[in-house]
Amino acid sequence: MSVQSPISSVNDFVVRFANVNGSGSASANELFARSILRHGVPVSPRNIFPSNIQGLPTWYEVRVTEDGHLGARGGVDMMVAMNPQTWDKDVASIEPGGYLFYDSTKPMPTSKFRADINVIGVPLTAITNSTYTDPRQRQLFKNIIYLGALCALLDMDPKLVEQLIGEQYKGKEKLLSSNVHALHLGRDWALQNLKCPIGLQVKKSDKVGDRIFIEGNSAAALGAVYGGATVCAWYPITPSSSVAEAFTSHCKKLRHDPETGKAKYAIVQGEDELASIGIVIGASWNGARAFTATSGPGISLMTEFIGLSYFAEIPAVIMNIQRAGPSTGMPTRTQQCDIIACAYASHGDTKHVLLFPEDPAEAFEFAAQSFDLADRLQTMIFLMLDLDIGMNHRLCRPLKWDDARQYDRGKVMTAEMLDEPGRDFGRYLDVDGDGIPYRTYPGTHPTKGSFFTRGTSRDRYARYSEEGAVYADNMQRLVRKFETAQDMVPRPLQANAAKPTKYGVIYFGSTAPAMDEAIGLLESRGHQLDRMRIRAFPFHSSVASFIADHDFVYVVEQNRDAQLRQLIVNENGIDPVRLVPILHYDGTPITARFIANAIGDHQDHLKVTPLRKAVS
Amino acid sequence: MTYIAKPKFHHPGLPKNELGYTHRDYEGKISTLCAGCGHDSITASIIEACYELSIEPHRVAKISGIGCSSKTPDYFLGNSHGFNSVHGRMPSVLTGANLANRDLIYLGVSGDGDSASIGFGQFAHSIRRAVNMTYIVENNGVYGLTKGQFSATADRGSKSKKGVMNTDNAIDLVAIALQLGASFVARSFSGDKSQLVPLIAAAIRHKGASFIDVISPCIAFNNHAGSTKSFDYVREHNDAVNRLDVLTGRDPITVDYAPGTVQMVEQHDGTRLALRKIDADYDANDRLAAMTFLQKHAAKGQVVTGLLYVDPDSEDLHTHLDTVETPLNTLEARDLCPGTAALEKINASLR
């Protein structure tokens, strides 16, 4: 079957693999993405998977992007349709002129195809069954065989793929040779039976540079290692579990005493999220750097302790890898939907510091920085990732560290300081006006510096008190501390449009790559936008200035209720009308097309509609 | 909880322990619990045990949850750091603190509402993890701060002050601790200081999860006829399995034991427990026997007190995690940060 105008593109297309969860396809699909990287061509892959172990549909999408666009694009140029259950949906998602790659062992009726796409059948099951007898081998090698066929169809260099397989199975010769053999089976069949290459092609380039390919969760975990975290307590929950698992893995390699072999870290899988954050708070209270990783439902469970951390002023770090809520929501789908829940977590008047990294490199930096911030501010720090950053490989700049960097342990009074003549230690005394008091670690001094930590109200010397003035004094100091935090957290990054404009856009976190691309698409439609990427809460004063400098500011986020916009309005007293929400919340990563269409349509509307109607 | 400090005056003639501390150095603020509360007796026993062991007060971290019992850490060891956390969550906070600095002594003080209800899970998991701690439950079978509701340790058939009959089965924290693998399990009575002090001292010296359930009548809400946690009831039904003295490798703290009826228990740190057997068949090194013994006597309505089980070869969470001897909270960037060279290798492996 053929169409008149098949898509023709070099190093710029989207391949989507439709598989069945548990079929062992993940490693083959990831190998495909890495192979393209080895050609010097940037890729942006994404897992779309169900919240079960086996049997349900799973997709893996590889965006091949010479221009380096790392956001999701939307649309599929080639569908590798390996799941009969999702066949109709998969076929329907192919762009006109695109390609359908399928297992042609069993003939398919013409009605199962589309007239405007190109169909490529490879008898994968037949090839596999004629070579392998073991059922598990048949399942696993079928994935490598289709990878081999794709190599031929896309004109990829088989040596680069073999090299990757060699690295993956280093020291396991039997596995290495059998995988290479399967790769050749698929490639040879395609070369002999199909017209290779097709319109979509991978050509060697030099656009990857020294960038690395890493998942956000792994990078954040490495940031915790470099940031000096010694205690990790966690409870498994998608999509955050791989943070703790990566921390364990990194620590095993990097954190053992060379002489004794003993661990310079402690990792405990708690019985639940409550225990995990309790362990973190206990460790932090006692002077260790500690963190937990969780997701929205875990945050819900931890809120009691989060309030204690705020009020008793105990440093701690929570890495929140957000997923679609509320309740159990969609556990394996991405959103940025815990902004309000984390910013004001717990009962009473609370405010918490949030950090919003855009990619793994920033996840690494912010994770390390979060421990300095927690110690300096003596409060809870939330590192806000989401599934899209956390569980997908991203191409990003190499991770960097300054060996001269020292940890900022904040205001900790030592025994020597306590003995200084005239020194007055009060646990909640604001001695220098920044709202941050000194603390002591347990065991510091035989007679000075001890105090009682509690979640109930107390005076500046940590003595229990229910006096209204004493309570208000403490709460006001906490406000001062939060104001101090404003200049300590990562500042927003701002970029102006090519031409002067009255419009701006604010965004954060995993939206960044799609926004970078969307700006270009909007420019091509004649829309100029200044942009600001917010990287932390509390908001820097430049956020309000940015909004004040524009007639309208779009706020792009991945949740239903415009949570960042709410926070900006609430904290900065800004007229909500001036902030136009652009919201994407179906659980898939936001795309450049979506942003450009949503903002572009609004801008077009503004040109012809009175202001009041445009914003109503 | 109070902020009223006791007067600092020390009588010059007060006896001192090996470190030169007097009893007053182990005291805290003035208790605001009801006069006659069993918890204050436990506080006194903790003070006595720490004095006798010549512990440096500031090297103790005292951690509690919420409730009458959890207020008590303010009333002893005034030079120690205390942490009154949230309801039922003392064990996790203590676990984290212990991970951060293995060199301190950790006293966890909890109540029956705190540990047997909201904190039942945390109690269980801190025990099974073998956190090196002394976990004391001040057990009065009632919620005192909220004025008299039954707790989960209240016996079925016992009556509240208002005359309501408890129809739920009781949780026996000692039985649970034995089942979960606590390496030191004891029960005592707040009114029996001669038994409780050496038990606390031994528990502090024990490496691993030490658990002591102390029946501590609530004089306001659970010290009436019909209560099985009242002073009278416990005195009438108490069956002590043994008496315990502690030898610290120095002069014996007490010497009130009879030759020929003492079982010596060598612990990992060299401390020797001298166990006086009242029941000729009782073996405090046999976990299974302890569980059976406990159940048999419970069926007869008897409250078994004393050291029910001790494992002389116990380990703790740090042993299991194989952590360095240096407290984690003292490690610095040079100990913890792998540096740029390691990062370059990691970067290279990700291309």
| pLDDT tens-digit readout, A56-79 | 899 999 999 999 999 998 899 999
Which positions 197-226 of B are in contact with A (Cβ < 8 Å)?
Answer: none
Backbone φ, ψ for residue A291 (5° rounding): -150, 165
Looking at the predicted structure, is the pLDDT value of residue A266 above 90? yes
Chain B residue with minimum CA distance to A260: B324
Q: Quick check: A275 contacting B, CB < 8 Å?
A: yes
Indicate the residue of B59, B89, B328 with minimum beta-carbon distance to A278.
B89
**pLDDT tier, B256 (very low <50, low <70, confident <90, very high otherwise):** very low
Which residues of A are less than 8 Å from B331 in CB distance?
228, 230, 264
A24-43 tens-digit pLDDT: 888 899 999 999 999 999 99
* Contacts A274 to B, Cβ<8 Å: 89, 92, 122
Place of tokens 């090299």: A163
The residues, ordered by sequence, that sit 6+ positions from A442 with a Cβ below 8 Å of its Cβ are: A285, A286, A287, A450, B58, B61, B80, B81, B97, B101, B104
CB contact under 8 A, A288 and B100: yes
Alpha helices in A21-134 (DSSP H): 25-38, 87-92, 124-131
B282 pLDDT band, cuts 50/70/90, is confident
Average pLDDT, chain B: 86
Chain B stretch 289-328, residues whose beta carbon is closer than 8 A to a beta carbon of chain A: 317-318, 321-325, 328
Contact A262 B91 (CB under 8 A): no
Helix H or strand E segment including B239: strand B238-240
Per-window interface: B 31-60 vs A, CB < 8 A: 56-59
Pick the residue of A279, A407, A408, A461 with the most B CBs within 10 A to test the interface with B by mutation.
A279
Task: Indicate whether A49 pLDDT > 90.
Answer: no
Give the mean pLDDT of B184-207: 94
Task: Give the pLDDT band of residue B251 (cuts 50, 70, 90).
Answer: very low
Residue B313 has pLDDT above 60, yes or no: yes
From the list B78, B324, B346, the residue facing A264 with the nearest CB is: B324
Nearest by CB to residue B99, choosing from A266, A401, A465, is A266
Scanning every residue of chain A, which has its alpha carbon at the shortest distance from the alpha carbon of B87? A304
pLDDT of residue B245: 63
The pLDDT assigned to B271 comes to 53
pLDDT at B260: 40
Q: How far apart are CA A496 and CA A553, in angstroms?
A: 13
Contacts of B271 (CB under 8 A, 6+ apart): B202, B205, B206, B246, B247, B248, B249
**Exposed/middle/buried for B17, CB within 10 Å: 0-12, 13-18, 19+?**
middle
pLDDT (mean) for B207-227: 86
Closest partner residue to A442 among B104, B339, B340, by Cβ?
A: B104
Contact (CB<8Å) B92/A453: no
pLDDT reported for residue B278: 54
Cα dist from B189 to A32, B32, B212, whole Å = 69, 21, 10
Q: Which of A212-221, A332-341, A525-534, B271-280 has the lowest mean pLDDT?
A: B271-280
Residue the block writes with tokens 């340790």 = B153
pLDDT score recorded for residue A421: 96
How many whole angstroms separate alpha carbon B15 and alpha carbon B22?
6
Q: Which of B3, B27, B329 to mutate: most A Cβ within 10 Å?
A: B329
Vertex B251: Cα angle to B249 and B255 (nearest 5): 110
**Mutating which of A454, A456, A457, A463 best tests the B interface, going by the most B Cβ atoms within 10 A?**
A454
Is the torsion defined by CA of B42, B46, B47, B49 positive or negative?
Answer: positive
Cα–Cα distance between A614 and A606 in angstroms, integer?
6
Poorest-pLDDT segment among A79-83, A443-447, B237-241, B290-294: B237-241
pLDDT tens digit sequence for B62-108: 999 999 999 999 999 999 999 999 999 999 999 999 999 999 999 99
Reported as a single tens digit per residue, the pLDDT across A600-612 is 999 988 776 555 6
> Which residue, among B99, B318, B319, B335, would best test binding to A if mutated, counting the most A CBs under 10 Å from its CB?
B99
**Mean pLDDT across A127-155:** 91
Percent of chain A at pLDDT exceeding 70? 98
In the prediction, which pLDDT does A609 show?
A: 58
Contact with chain B for residue A369, Cβ under 8 A: no
**According to the model, what pLDDT value does residue B140 have?**
87
Tell which A residues from 292 to 311 touch B, by Cβ distance under 8 Å. Answer: 304-305, 308
Asked if the Cβ–Cβ distance from A286 to B61 is below 8 Å, we say: yes
Among residues B240, B242, B276, B245, the alpha carbon closest in space to that of B258 is found at B276
Of the candidates B74, B86, B317, which has its C-beta nearest A308's C-beta?
A: B86
Chain A, residues 407-466, CB within 8 A of chain B, namely 407, 440-447, 450-456, 459, 463-465
Q: What pLDDT is stored for residue B178 in this prediction?
A: 97
In this structure, what DSSP letter does residue A68 have?
-
- B89 contacts in A (CB within 8 Å)? 274-275, 278, 304-305
pLDDT the model gives residue A51 = 81
Chain A positions in Cβ-Cβ contact with residue B61 (cut-off 8 Å): 286, 442-443
Contact with chain B for residue A240, Cβ under 8 A: no
Q: What is the DSSP letter of B323?
A: B
Average pLDDT estimate for A430-447: 97
Interface test with B, best of A168, A210, A218, A286 (most B CBs within 10 A): A286
> What mean pLDDT is predicted for residues A276-296?
98
Count of CB atoms situated within 10 Å of the CB of A54: 10
Q: Residue A92: which of A18, A19, A144 has the closest Cα?
A: A18
Both tokens assigned to A193: 């039976």
Q: Which of residues 108-137 of A touch B (CB under 8 A)?
A: none
The interface pTM score, or ipTM, of the predicted complex is 0.94
Number of neighbours of residue A318 by Cβ within 10 angstroms: 30
Average pLDDT of the residues of chain A: 95
* Residue among A210, A443, A452 minimizing CB distance to B104: A443
Q: Are A35 and A160 in contact (CB under 8 A)?
A: yes
Is the pLDDT reported for residue A587 higher than 80?
A: yes
How many CA atoms, within 13 angstroms, populate the side-chain half-sphere of residue B53? 26
The residue among B298 and A222 whose pLDDT is bigger is A222
Distance from CA of B78 to the nearest CA of A (A): 8
**Single-letter code of the amino acid located at A502:** K
Checking if the pLDDT of B268 tops 80, the result is no
What order do you get walking across the sheet with A493-495 strand by strand?
Answer: A493-495, A530-534, A503-508, A552-557, A579-583
Closest listed residue to residue A441, CA positions, set A455, A461, A427, A459: A427
For residue B1, what pLDDT band results from cuts at 50, 70 and 90?
A: very low
Three-class secondary structure of residue A436 per DSSP: coil
Tokens matching residue A490: 């990562």
**pLDDT for the residue numbered A610:** 56
A164 touches chain B (CB under 8 A): no
Beta bridge partner(s), residue A248: none
Q: Are B56 and A446 a contacting pair, CB within 8 Å?
A: yes
| Percent of chain B clearing pLDDT 90 (strictly above) | 60
Contact at 8 Å (CB) between B90 and B59? Answer: no
- In this structure, is the dihedral angle defined by the CA atoms of residues A151, A152, A153 and A154, taken in order, positive or negative? positive
Other Cβ atoms within 10 Å of A613 Cβ, number: 10
Would an 8 Å CB–CB cutoff place B108 in contact with chain A?
A: no
Nearest to A272 among B3, B63, B121 (CB): B121
d(CA A11, CA A28): 20
Per the rule left: phi > 0, alpha: psi between -120 and 50, beta: everything else, B180 is alpha
Span A523-562, pLDDT tens digits: 999 999 999 999 999 999 999 999 999 999 999 999 999 9
Residue A601, Cβ neighbours under 10 Å: how many?
11
CB contact B329 to A (< 8 Å): yes
pTM of the model: 0.93
What span, in angstroms and rounded, lies between the C-alpha atoms of A96 and A599?
25
Segment A363-417, tens digit of pLDDT? 999 999 999 999 999 999 999 999 999 999 999 999 999 999 999 999 999 999 9
- Core vs surface per residue B123-159: b (16+ CB within 10 A) or e: bbbbbebbbbbbbbbbbbbbbbeeebebbbbbbeebb
Q: Does B27 have pLDDT greater than 90? A: yes
Identify the residue with better confidence: A1 or A249. A249
| Better-scored residue on pLDDT, B321 or B232 | B321
Nearest Cβ partner for B337 among A210, A226, A463: A226
Q: In this structure, are residues A45 and A61 in contact, taking their beta carbons and an 8 Å threshold?
A: yes
Q: Residue B239 — pLDDT band, cuts 50, 70, 90?
A: confident
d(CA A292, CA A382): 10
Residue B264 has pLDDT above 80, yes or no: no
Contact residues, B window 267-286, toward A, CB-based 8 Å cutoff: none
The verdict on A170 touching B (C-beta cutoff 8 Å) is no
pLDDT number for residue B250: 39
How many A/B residue pairs have CB atoms within 8 Å?
233
Give the tens place of pLDDT for each residue, A299-349.
999 999 999 999 999 999 999 999 999 999 999 999 999 999 999 999 999
What pLDDT score was predicted for residue A138? 82
Examine the pLDDT at A184 and tell me if it is beyond 60. Answer: yes
- Quick check: A331 contacting B, CB < 8 Å? no
Does the CA dihedral A594-A595-A598-A603 come out positive or negative?
negative
Asked if the C-beta of B92 comes within 8 angstroms of chain A's C-beta atoms, the answer is yes
Shortest distance between the Cα of A395 and any Cα of chain B, in A, equals 9
Distance between A494 CA and the closest CA of chain B, angstroms: 28
Task: With a cut of 90, say whether residue A220 has pLDDT above it.
Answer: yes
Share of chain A above pLDDT 90, in %: 90
